[in-house]
Amino acid sequence: VGKDVRSYRKIWEDLETLKATPAIKAGAQFAVLDALCKKLDIPPYQFLGGERDEIETDKTIGIGKLDEMVEEAKEIGKEGFRVIKVKVGTSVKEDVEKVVRIQEAVPDVELVVDANQGYRPKEAVAFAREIYKEGVKVKLFEQPVLKWDIEGLRFVRYNCPYPVAADESVFTRYDAYRLVKEDCVDYINIKLMKSGLLDALAIVEIAKSANVKLMIGCMGETSLGISQSAHFAGGLGAFSHHDLDSHLLIKEKEFRGRFKQEGPILKLY
């Protein structure tokens, strides 16, 4: 309170010292950035680099009965989404059937499979190889093993036919540095609500320096939270995949995002 938002980096650093959850810090940091952008009369994505004024997101299928998930995939395809995210990680056999059926229902769509730490390393490889044999088009395989199992993550990466992404394994720049140094991943998933803006910016540079691709994701965020991540991603233009769809799964009284959604496209303003 009472600080000049033009000193935004110093304010961000001060916020990092507070005893608060990363999501609270991230929200406060972006509020400072938003205030500065209003003062300058520019949208946040332009302040952050202005690389893109729109981004394309995937859409996640809710967990349910197999037939219901297949029908949901068909509806998502009709909405124009070119990438669908599917949650796996419970049973290799059931997950293979689920993913194969979904791909058959939407053959022109790429899939992201997210295990949310659900597999042991050898299970993850077995799952990936089986769906690969079935011709499933997977853009990336997200967090196949427990977040602390760095050896397991590397094992999956070296034995998996698809690119491997780390999500829960990366909260800070130090996490990202370790994974890059130990050659564990093809992608790093940045979420502002787990890293805050300072660490997120640092992770971007670490990944770029190591030729590791980036994706941007979200928690269970409203349009306001998604707006922050969308402007961050658009401004930097550093992300090969965008997973910013949680607002589509939430009933909001008021839409508060600084973007217009047209199918999978988020147009920033």
Model confidence pLDDT, tens digit, residues 183-231: 999 999 999 999 999 999 999 999 999 999 999 999 999 999 999 999 9
Name the H helices within the chain. 8-16, 22-40, 44-47, 66-78, 92-105, 121-133, 150-159, 173-181, 192-209, 223-236
**Is 87 a known active-site residue?**
yes
135 burial (CB, 10 Å; 0-12 / 13-18 / 19+) is exposed
* Sheet with 164-166, side-by-side order of all strands: 59-60, 83-87, 110-114, 138-142, 164-166, 187-190, 213-216, 241-242
Name the DSSP letter for residue 211.
T
Question: Which domain range does residue 11 map to?
Answer: 5-268
Name the DSSP letter for residue 117.
T
**pTM for the predicted model, two decimal places:** 0.95
Q: pLDDT tens digits, residue range 11-69?
A: 999 999 988 888 999 999 999 999 999 999 999 999 999 999 999 999 999 888 999 99
Q: What is the pLDDT of residue 253?
A: 82
**Is 260 a known active-site residue?**
no
Q: What is the pLDDT of residue 252?
A: 87
Percent composition of the chain: helix, strand, coil (DSSP 3-state, to 5): 50, 15, 35
Q: What is the pLDDT of residue 20?
A: 86
Question: Is the per-residue pLDDT at 251 higher than 90?
Answer: no
Considering the candidates 25, 139, 191, 194, report the single residue annotated as catalytic.
Answer: 191
When pLDDT is averaged across residues 68-97 and rounded to a whole number, the result is: 97
Considering the candidates 87, 98, 139, 194, report the single residue annotated as catalytic.
Answer: 87
CATH number of the CATH domain containing 196 = 3.20.20.120
Q: What percent of the chain has pLDDT over 70?
A: 100
- When pLDDT is cut at 50, 70 and 90, the band that residue 73 belongs to is very high
Q: What is the pLDDT of residue 64?
A: 87
Q: What is the pLDDT of residue 62?
A: 81
Which amino acid, residue 58?
D
Q: What is the pLDDT of residue 78?
A: 98
Q: What is the pLDDT of residue 19?
A: 85
Q: What is the pLDDT of residue 1?
A: 65
Distance CA 185, CA 9 (A): 30
- Please provide the average confidence, as pLDDT, over all residues in the chain: 97
Which of these ranges, 61-65, 111-115, 144-148, 239-243, has the smallest mean pLDDT?
61-65
Domain count, the chain: 1
